[in-house]
Amino acid sequence: MKQINKKMIALVGGVVLVIGLVLMAYVLRDKLALSRGPVIDMHHAMDKDNIVPILIIGSGPSGLSAAIYSVSANIRTVVLQGPLPGGLLTQTSIVENWPGNKSIMGPEIIKNLQDHAVGLSHHYLKNSKDEIDKIEILEDTATHIDASQWPFKVQTANGHTLNALSIIIATGASPKLLQAPGEFEYWKKGVTSCATCDAPFFKDKNVVVAGGGDSAAEQAIQLARHAKNITILVRKEQMRASAIMQSRLKEYPSIKVLYQVQVQEVVGNGEHVTGIKLLSDKNNEIIILPIDGVFLAIGHSPNSKIVKDILAVDAEGYIKVEGRTQATSVNGIFASGDVVDHRYRQASTAAGYGVSAALDAIQFLTLNGFNTTISAKLEKNMFRGQLPRDEKELFVIKSEEDFNQNVIQHEGLVVVDCFMEQCYFCKVMDPIFHEAARYFENRVLFVTLDIDAAPAMAKKLFITSAPTFLVYHNGKLVGRYNGAMNKSEFGLFIEKFLHESP
């Protein structure tokens, strides 16, 4: 009996202890959250190169608004545009609810934001001794983020490895698609996913809303204030939307619900949507509805794939942020826009949150000792994706004479970049080639050959694709490479020849 009592006491004690620990963790969770992420010590940045004080991933309204604020704080900022430069807004047409502009095209908003950020940067550059722009907007995509160390290591598709002191994730979200023919063709020509933005354009028209959840019901109600007839297309026998939403729908005589239908095709006349082809599961009949608009309400998915292993995300993949700030679960990484916000999803709210994220990032850098002195010390370590201002242009070979003088008669190593103006990979290689030219200055001569300007020369050198890199040593061809390389590969490629023929 006594033994059991002892065990009981031990057990109760254990239980109390566990509950205590759980409570403590709960109470301290904000403080614990703050200490998440790697140790931040400005000294760790001093011996790194390719430093980016504020790295913004994504170039929609959120990312660009953040950039405007970080540039105006005089902090060097790099924006990685990602696979869709300008984001979803570039795919919209007229926007009437961007505060401050009566009616503006989506792409124009993006252009204005971009011009604003670049303009601010130029303004600072003119008035300072700094060598490099405060902002750089790169046609590049982040492929991997290593948040286990600080500075954060970020890999890009073009082969850059960046050391970011702070990161703002503004990768946005993508609407889920029906995957039906015609949907892509008529995207924003009648097919859209945002009733809040586009409902007024369907005044007195007939539209369908595809989806059976709350968001479909909400979109239908929003449309009911403008459109003539709204048909909700539901794939199952009943709607997934909440009961109250369903009962609300009944109050709108202009809203009708079609159950057990699958969208087969979005039909149009080449310019805009004119109808939708449906397959009824009940009797396998094909129904064609003549309509002017298709609103997709089958959900959005946040573009959080790149961070979902390092940041706390919710069940749907939206990045979790602390309270009303834009701070993520890793100290020094912030997030804004549609990748966080599943509630409002407006261009203007995304921009507003972008401003907040930039202010958070600036405060983070300031608190951790990134000041003007450090910034000046790190200047030479900063990442430069483009040419510095007063970069010497590399010699361009345009004739056989040029080639003989600069390549054949040159003593030592020469690397020739044979490029074409129109070629994408040539543009990718251009900054890498220039950087290599800086790095191997006085050891290797770097020249370029414009294939378009000197076709005979190109033919003579057997160049069949661009870019091609030719390596000459004392006038003799010693190496040849077709295609793109990343920076380190290119460096190794040249090191090899330096090693073989010193």
194 is catalytic: yes
The active-site residue out of 133, 140, 194, 338 is: 194
CB of 325 to another protein, least distance (A): 6
452 is catalytic: no
CB of 63 to another protein, least distance (A): 11
- CA torsion 282-288-289-290 (nearest 10°) is 180
CB of 107 to another protein, least distance (A): 13
Q: How many other C-beta atoms can be found within 10 angstroms of the C-beta atom of residue 457?
A: 20
CA 166 from centre of chain = 15
Q: Give the residue with the Cβ less far from another protein, 114 or 448.
A: 114
CB of 427 to another protein, least distance (A): 28
CA nearest to 485, candidates 431, 443, 437: 431
CB of 13 to another protein, least distance (A): 12
Q: Give the residue with the Cβ less far from another protein, 325 or 488.
A: 325
The active-site residue out of 140, 197, 338, 360 is: 197
Contacts of 6 (CB under 8 A, 6+ apart): none
Q: Give the residue with the Cβ less far from another protein, 86 or 275.
A: 86
Q: Give the residue with the Cβ less far from another protein, 68 or 333.
A: 68
CB of 144 to another protein, least distance (A): 29
198 is catalytic: yes
The active-site residue out of 133, 140, 198, 450 is: 198
Cβ–Cβ < 8 Å for 51, 383: yes
Helix%, strand%, coil% for the chain, nearest 5: 35, 25, 40
Terminal CA-to-CA distance of the chain, rounded, Å? 89
Classify 42 as helix, strand or coil.
coil
CB of 187 to another protein, least distance (A): 22
Q: What is the DSSP string of 485-499?
A: --HHHHHHHHHHHHH
Find the angle CA(197)-CA(200)-CA(203) to the nearest 5 degrees. Answer: 150
Q: Give the residue with the Cβ less far from another protein, 346 or 468.
A: 346
| 391 DSSP 8-state letter | P
Q: Give the residue with the Cβ less far from another protein, 239 or 449.
A: 239
Classify 153 as helix, strand or coil.
strand
SS in 3 state form for 209-270? EECCCHHHHHHHHHHHCCCCEEEEECCCCCCCCCHHHHHHHHCCCCEEEECCEEEEEEEECC
Q: How many other C-beta atoms can be found within 10 angstroms of the C-beta atom of residue 496?
A: 13
Sheet holding 444-450, edge to edge: 395-397, 444-450, 413-419, 468-473, 476-482
Q: Give the residue with the Cβ less far from another protein, 113 or 470.
A: 113
Sheet holding 255-258, edge to edge: 191-192, 293-296, 206-210, 229-233, 255-258
Radius of gyration of the chain (CA): 29
Cβ–Cβ < 8 Å for 429, 487: no
Residues annotated catalytic, as ranges: 194, 197-198
